[in-house]
Structure formats: C-alpha cells, structure tokens
Amino acid sequence: MPKEGHFINRSNWLRASVLGANDGIVSTASLLVGVASAGMDRSGILLAGLAGLSAGALSMAAGEYVSVSTQQDIEAADLERERAALEDDPDYELSELAEGLEARGVASGLALKVAQQMTDHDALDAHAREELGMHGLAGDANALQAAWASSLSFALGASMPLLGAVVAPQGLTVGVVAAVALLALVILGGTGARLGGAPIRPSILRVVFWGSLAMLVTSTVGRMFGVHV
C-alpha cells in the first residue's frame, strides 16, 4: 500500500514564500504601473521600482520575524501556564483532558484511560496538543526561517516586473510590466499549489485576480493624478 503524502510540514516556509513572492510581484508591478501611467520618465520608473524592491524585502523580513516571534511568545506563555496548572491540580487537568477526548467521540470510560496513558507518557505535550492545538512543544513556527523565506521571495518576485520595466520599449512600460507580472503570478500560483498538494486552478485564479485589480487601481490613480514630464 502506498504511503500517504502530506504537505503540512511545508506550511511555515511555503506560506512565507508564497506571501513574499506574491507581495513582491503585485506591489512592485502596481508601483511601476502607477508611476508609468502618471508619466514618469524611464529613470524615475526604474528608481521607484528598485526602491520598492529594497524597502519591501526588508519590510517583509521584519514583519515576518516580528509576527512569528509574537506567536512563539504566546505559545511559550500558554505552555508555562499549562505546566503550572499540571503541577497545581493534576487531577483536574486529567479530567479536562478526558472531557476533551470525549468531545471528539471517545467513550467516557475509554477517554479517561486514554487521558491517563497520554498523561503518563508526556502530560504537557498531551495538553499542548489536545487543549491548545499545538503540535509539538517546540512549535512549527520559526521566525528566522519565515523572515528569510519571505524577504528572499519578495525580492525574487519584485525583480520580475522590474525586469519587465527594464526591457520594455519606450511607451510600452505599462503593458509589458503588467504582462510579466501576470505571467509571474500564474507561475507562482501553480507552483505554490503544487508544492502544497492543493488544486492548481483556484490558486492561479486567486493571485491573478487580485494582482490584476491592484495594477488596475494604481494605473487609474496614476492617470488621474499624474503629471507628465
């Protein structure tokens, strides 16, 4: 019998990578489309794109590190409270664990036996999993991994529309940047879904829709408020 393939172990770095790449493509392409629609010259367009890439990559790294670190702090505090509760009132914690198992469909008497076995094996881990929904005391989140994955993927994503602006003929910057960005989003959506074992079509449609909407809005704003130079 073939072994089941699961992809949840990839969720931390894959989520950060897809988020970073999508943000890099969409934000940079939207920025370039906006300033190009406003009539900014070629050097100004490229400078704006490069600044957006640099600032965005650093911002993504900082944001991921702070958010994941906050999550880890909350998990650590919850574990400490659970550890103290197990020491102060182990009988209550045992019954609480058994009640949780009963709520998930385990028969009453069996639930108590299973709870006792889980407690004997590793009480804190049992409560972390059943009561707090944490799979493993160390947690799956890794702040540095998420920060690097998000920052690098943002830079790679942002470089695609920026490259489109570099090679675009005079007067066709908006069209070339938009086309390159949409192609990059299609690739991103398909790759992310494939790596995560999810349906490809919905993933592609999501990223293409929101990317197109963002570029349309910034292009409209650029045309409305831009000053040709």
Q: What is the mean pLDDT of the chain?
A: 83
Angstrom distance (rounded) from CA 211 to CA 14: 19
Termini Cα distance of the chain = 68
pLDDT, tens digit, 9 for 90 and up, residues 93-126: 888 888 878 877 878 778 778 888 888 888 788 7
Separation CA 135–CA 205 (nearest Å): 32
Average pLDDT value for residue range 52-60: 93
Q: Which of 11, 19, 12 is nearest to 207 (CA)?
A: 19
pTM of the predicted model as reported, rounded to 2 decimal places: 0.73
Per-residue pLDDT band at 6 (split at 50, 70, 90):
very low
More confident of the two residues 135 and 175:
175
Residue count of the chain: 229
The pLDDT value given to residue 127: 78
User: Cβ distance 40 to 85 under 8 Å?
Assistant: no
Which helix H or strand E contains 55, and what residues bound it? helix 42-88
| Helix and strand element counts for the chain (H, E) | 7, 0
33-44 burial: b if 16+ Cβ within 10 Å, else e: bbbbbbebeeee
